[in-house]
Amino acid sequence: MAPAATAPWPELLSAAAGSSLAALLTATDRDWSRPAHGLDWTCRETLDHLALGLTGYAGLLIARPRDRYITLFASLDPAAPVPACLEGIRIAASLLTSTVRDTPPHVRAWHPWGHSDAAGFAAMGITELLLHTYDIAHALECPWAPPDGPAGAALARLFPDAPTGHSPFDTLLWCTGRIPLPGRPRRTEWQWNGTPAGDRNAGPASTARS
């Protein structure tokens, strides 16, 4: 199991966003119409998915529904240049960071992969940021290595049964079906469990790709 979070979740989320944006800003002059690595979306479309996810997680923590997704769907201006789209990702990440900081620890909100608390949604936001930055950076041949702290914290929170003996980010990539690990083939089905450890009384219900 990866070590638990060693810094407050808002700080970890902010660090993940900063690392992701710093990497992607170096590649704004490349072809963002090419497919993101391993996905059906282009690199540009992957940013839309990321904006939707980060804003959606903030919305879930604010609205706190028990059985549904929220009705607010965030998107990026389809005519905007990539640097402006990355500004949109920074805004979405900041909204989630502020919401996580302001949400009491007892609050729970619906998610299809486990009703979760603020820490869980922070971990989901970190995972979305790191995974999709990897998908885009890999496609655009943009060197990038995320910080271990956010990756390790998200891994421990969402994948408590993850294998040990590898870097946090490599393990996170394996858990989400992106790479093989020595002696472990690439996963074809996966999902995280966002339910707080004290609330867990049943396993996750479905598999999907993020």
CA–CA separation, 58 vs 150, rounded Å?
18
| Residue 81 domain-assigned (yes or no) | yes
The reply to whether 205 falls in a domain is: no
pLDDT confidence tier of residue 209, bands split at 50, 70 and 90 = very low
Per the domain annotation, does 145 fall within a domain? yes
**Token representation of residue 77:** 């201006």
Q: How many CA atoms lie within 13 A of 85 on its CB side?
A: 23
> Do the beta carbons of residue 43 and residue 29 sit within 8 Å?
no
Residue 1: inside a domain, yes or no? no
Residue type, 95: L
CA angle 5, 8, 11 (to 5 degrees): 110
The pLDDT tens digits of the residues spanning 168-196 come to 999 999 999 999 999 999 999 999 999 99
pLDDT digits (tens, 9 = 90+) for 63-118: 998 889 888 888 899 999 999 999 999 999 999 999 999 999 999 999 998 899 99
Does residue 121 lie in a domain region? yes
Amino acid at 181: L
- Domain range for residue 95? 9-199
Task: Indicate whether 76 belongs to any domain.
Answer: yes
- The answer to whether residue 2 sits within a structural domain is no
CATH number (domain holding residue 86): 1.20.120.450
Say if residue 5's pLDDT is above 80. Answer: no
pLDDT of residue 199: 79
Report the domain count for the chain: 1
